[in-house]
Amino acid sequence: MKPNTFDQITVKIRKFVAEREWDQFQKPKDLALSLTLEAAEVLEHFQWKNEDEIAEHLKKSKDDLADELVDTLWYLLALSDKIGVNLETAFERKLKINQDKYPISKAKGNNKKYTDY
Q: Under the criterion CB under 8 A, does residue 96 sit at the interface with a copy of itself?
A: no
- Among 73, 78, 100, 101, interactor with a copy of itself by CB under 8 A: 73
What is the 3-state secondary structure of 37-75? HHHHHHHHCCCCCCHHHHHHHHHHHHHHHHHHHHHHHHH
The CB-of-86 to a copy of itself minimum distance in angstroms stands at: 8
If one asks whether residue 11 binds a copy of itself (CB under 8 A), the answer comes out as no
Looking at residue 47, its amino acid is Q
101 is an interface residue for a copy of itself by CB under 8 A: no
Give the interface size with a copy of itself as a residue count (CB under 8 A).
80
Q: Shortest approach of a copy of itself to residue 45 CB, angstroms?
A: 7
Phi and psi, residue 47, nearest 5°: -60, 135
